[in-house]
Chain A
Amino acid sequence: MSQTKPKKLVVIGNGMAPGRVLDHLFEKAPGAYEVTIFNAEPRVNYDRIMLSPVLSGEKAFEDIIIHDDAWYEKHGVTLHKGKKVMEIDRAERKVVAEDGTEAEYDKLLIATGSSPFVIPVPGKDLSGVVTYRDLDDVDAMLDAAKSGGHVVVIGGGLLGLEAAYGLKRQGMEVTVLHLMPTLMERQLDASAGYLLEKALADRDIKIITRANTKEITGKEGKVAGVVLEDGTALPADIVVMAVGIRPNAQLADDAGLEVGRGILVDDHLRTSDPDILAVGECVEHRGQCYGLVAPLYDMAKVIASNLAGDAAPEYTGSVTATKLKVTGIDLYSAGDFAEAEDREEIVLRDAAGGVYKRLVLKDNRIIGAVLYGDTADGAWFFDMLKKGTDISELRETLIFGQAYAGGSPLDPTAAVAALPDDAEICGCNGVCKGTIVQAISDKGLTDVDGVRAHTKASGSCGTCTGLVEQLLKFTLGDAFQPDAVQPMCGCTDLGHDDVRRLIVAQELKSIPAVVQELNWKTSCGCAKCRPALNYYLLATWPGEYVDDKQSRFINERVHANIQKDGTYSVVPRMWGGITTPDELRAIADVADKFRIPTVKVTGGQRIDLLGVKKEDLPAVWADLNAAGMVSGHAYGKSLRTVKTCVGTDWCRFGTQDSTGLGIMLERFLWGSWTPHKVKLAVSGCPRNCAEATCKDIGVVCVDSGYEIHFAGAAGMHVKGTELLCTVATEGEVLEYVGALMQLYREQGHYLERIYKWADRVGLGVAREQVVENAERRKELNARFVYSQKFMQNDPWAERAQGKDAEEFTSFRLAHLGKVA
């Protein structure tokens, strides 16, 4: 291109599509054009997709600006804000605005966008009837929402539902009217539409389907209500029309350009006049008009290349995917999912979990996908859809998603690693994996903001932020530090690790000290942080810290489990699951004496007395103590049970004395407080009758010694244990387990089970510090043994003897004094 005078490019419209054209153009051919923009809106270019979060109050306008004033200045762009172009004079090659401003062009780009469709019913012009298209509409809605009241949203499509959710968040009573039988019928099938309707109803948004609006009623020129064909009358302080959009093609039509539904363009986005291009929602290309951002960006790339002198790129149309931006509702749809003869479908329904997935196949290729509740695999399905991948090999497990395909692991980073380089990560901006990975390595990016700045990935609707983080993790490995540490609770910005570190570093020894020194935002903490702090202080300063019982959950405060009716359950310890006739007799006597309604055998090999009145607890404990029984800590974030099988004592397969070892372990570990509950088991042989391999810590006896396992779970999550190591003697089992307990006690976040802790810090940490480094193991074990010196006092005996007596007594009004 010659270095002489730059050509004149005039742009009509300042939305996201022309903004993107210019971004690309200035990158490819800086200085080649002198640009003039006419914008009917009185402002800079902003991210229209993010209007919904502005409406719901989750973002401010400043957060969604794409190009600020400085950008226009930097690129020498003349921006005419608030000037609407009225005429294109093709003979003179110039445009004329409402106020007479003119600009000559060599190339003209029309990006007039689209207008919301207003249904022609009586009352449509009343004050209070708004559309949902630009910031002025949002301002009008927010203004109306200030005084509260009722809003009727006409249209249950993407925009209508986002508007409904936003206005609900602003405190209004919201009703959505939808003409069709199910919501978002263009993007969703009936099942997903139903789930969506239910989820919105749960958010207190009223939905009326098959609703045909007859008229909007008014009072003194202002909206008062909406009447449906069937006579239903709804009150309304505002009415939002969100029934669809229509391309703005009038200006082009007036100029004599060829127009259908939109401005007709070829694969180079040229109109019938080759010097006039068109982009965005005003365009009709191969019979399609688009209202989503991804196709507009595809077009923008082609135009920018063509303008920069590279005639090769062509636009051939877009397959679109849709996501709904309503917090807490995960919904994804792509392609075509109408039923037809030659199509097959794979459906997965989990009604209880609120998950619905449907893939539509044709000739072993995905042509449509609807995901509700779990949309993690959307990008993977969409990638195969766009490429027309033959899925016959994957068919059996396809619906379960990428994690199951080809047996690859469930780890999200691995799933992202498995994606091909040209897999699309950011649908809004059309950024694929390869581009992001390359930007990370070439530009030395270390966080999501960096990736956003350089590639635009996750910069628009933001739903792919998680994928971008996974890519950073996959590219940088351990060097990736996600910037946001989850704060402990609303009282502080510090995470659990920081708080634990600062408790040690600043020698903080009480909750008020932590609250003061670490600048808590509340005066004395909350029900979330105080139990955590109490544990951290107790674990850090054994023998010094005085337990704050008011910071403990009721169960740990009164050493029994609260039940739904306010009574308590009592579980005495049965060491290793072994009991005696005397103990059983004592339990039976207690049950009779205190009229305890339910006696139940627990899963942890002991007996639960349920329905004990709070005031009876100390006396119940006194009787159990008298028979030699102590608290089983069934209520605590602490050592619970050590389950055993009978081992060599009785079993013909037993390889070691598993019962004896279980009792030894329970006597060693009982009374210790931990980040979360800790359950153990010892099995006498690999048949594993004590189910040791789903416990927090499990021991499996073998001929040659003892396998120590850890990080299992069998609750909300079920997870087999990991093998820590194999040792030869019982003494070693105690030392290794003591060290492991202590490592967990020192590193675990409050309410984090061993398996979650191990998952967070890596299994290698325990292997390294407990198995490989003998010196470290001995130190850890010694610290555990020291801490236990202060822990192994039976809390029941203390209370049976009068400790915390006020906790177990109440005042009776009948005993109170007379009136003076």
Chain B
Amino acid sequence: MNEMSISTKTQVWIEVCRLEDIPPQGARVVRATLGCVALFRTATDRVFALEDRCPHKGGPLSQGIVHENGVTCPLHNWVVDMETGRAKAPDEGRVRTFPVQVDDGRVLIDRALLA
């Protein structure tokens, strides 16, 4: 893994992987101290980072089907909006979302939130 990182005023960005490491309309998992974080890449190359636990029964969202800015949980088909972390109505619930940046092909997350 590349050892580059960028620091801003309030956040410390660290590189997790390259954009191409995540398949389009797919996901990768980052194992962090607090649990697993799912990194999603949409068809338009937007990247989202969410806690890898469906608000319903804790299903691994990273294993779901990615469509537009949503992901469908593989266990019971809840749809989670990757932008807000909210479950699509009529289901109710929310997963944690984490700030993520794509810079020159590098996928960066805020280390403070993960460590």
Interface residues of A (CB under 8 A from B): 522-527, 530-531, 549-555, 558, 562, 564, 566, 806, 810-813, 815-820
B66 close to chain A: CB less than 8 A: yes
Q: Which residues of B contact A553 (CB under 8 A)?
A: 65, 74
Q: Which residues of B contact A820 (CB under 8 A)?
A: 4-7
- Contact indicator A527/B3 (Cβ below 8 Å): no
- Contact indicator A522/B68 (Cβ below 8 Å): yes
> Nearest Cβ distance between residue B5 and chain A, in whole angstroms?
5
Count CB-based A-B contacts (< 8 Å).
Answer: 98
Please measure, in the bound complex, the distance between the C-alpha atom of A806 and the C-alpha atom of B17, giving whole angstroms: 12
> Nearest Cβ distance between residue B35 and chain A, in whole angstroms?
11
Q: Which residues of A contact B75 (CB under 8 A)?
A: 562, 564
Please measure, in the bound complex, the distance between the C-alpha atom of A229 and the C-alpha atom of B23, giving whole angstroms: 64
Within 8 A of A (CB), among B18-75: 21, 23-26, 28-33, 36, 43-44, 57, 59-60, 63-68, 70, 72, 74-75
Q: Which residues of A contact B12 (CB under 8 A)?
A: 819
B14 close to chain A: CB less than 8 A: yes
Closest 7 CB pairs of A and B: A817-B3, A527-B72, A810-B29, A550-B25, A527-B65, A554-B74, A554-B63
- Contact indicator A530/B65 (Cβ below 8 Å): yes
Interface residues of B (CB under 8 A from A): 1-7, 12, 14-17, 21, 23-26, 28-33, 36, 43-44, 57, 59-60, 63-68, 70, 72, 74-75, 77, 79, 111, 114-115
Contact of A527 among B1, B30, B43, B67 (CB under 8 A): B67
A-B contact pairs, 12 of them (CB 8 A): A523-B68, A524-B43, A524-B67, A526-B67, A527-B64, A527-B65, A527-B72, A810-B28, A811-B16, A813-B115, A817-B4, A818-B5
> Nearest Cβ distance between residue A510 and chain B, in whole angstroms?
13
> Nearest Cβ distance between residue A754 and chain B, in whole angstroms?
24
Contact of A564 among B44, B57, B63 (CB under 8 A): B57
Given contacts A811-B17, A819-B7, A819-B14, contact A524 B31 (CB under 8 A): no
Contact of B30 among A530, A552, A810 (CB under 8 A): A810
> Nearest Cβ distance between residue B73 and chain A, in whole angstroms?
9
- Contact indicator A813/B32 (Cβ below 8 Å): yes
Contact of B43 among A523, A817, A818 (CB under 8 A): A523
Residue of B with least CB distance to A565 = B58
Q: Which residues of A contact B4 (CB under 8 A)?
A: 817, 820
Extra pairs beyond A812-B30, A812-B31, A816-B14 (12, CB < 8 Å): A522-B67, A524-B25, A527-B67, A530-B67, A562-B74, A564-B75, A566-B59, A816-B1, A819-B7, A819-B12, A819-B14, A820-B6
> Nearest Cβ distance between residue A523 and chain B, in whole angstroms?
6
Contact of B28 among A524, A526, A811 (CB under 8 A): A811
- Contact indicator B24/A813 (Cβ below 8 Å): no
- Contact indicator B43/A819 (Cβ below 8 Å): no
- Contact indicator B67/A806 (Cβ below 8 Å): no
Q: Which residues of A contact B3 (CB under 8 A)?
A: 817-818
Please measure, in the bound complex, the distance between the C-alpha atom of A524 and the C-alpha atom of B6, giving whole angstroms: 34
- Contact indicator A550/B15 (Cβ below 8 Å): no
> Nearest Cβ distance between residue B40 and chain A, in whole angstroms?
11
Residue of A with least CB distance to B66 = A550
Given contacts A524-B43, A819-B5, contact A566 B60 (CB under 8 A): yes
Given contacts A550-B66, A554-B63, contact A811 B29 (CB under 8 A): yes
> Nearest Cβ distance between residue A752 and chain B, in whole angstroms?
18
Residue of B with least CB distance to A527 = B72
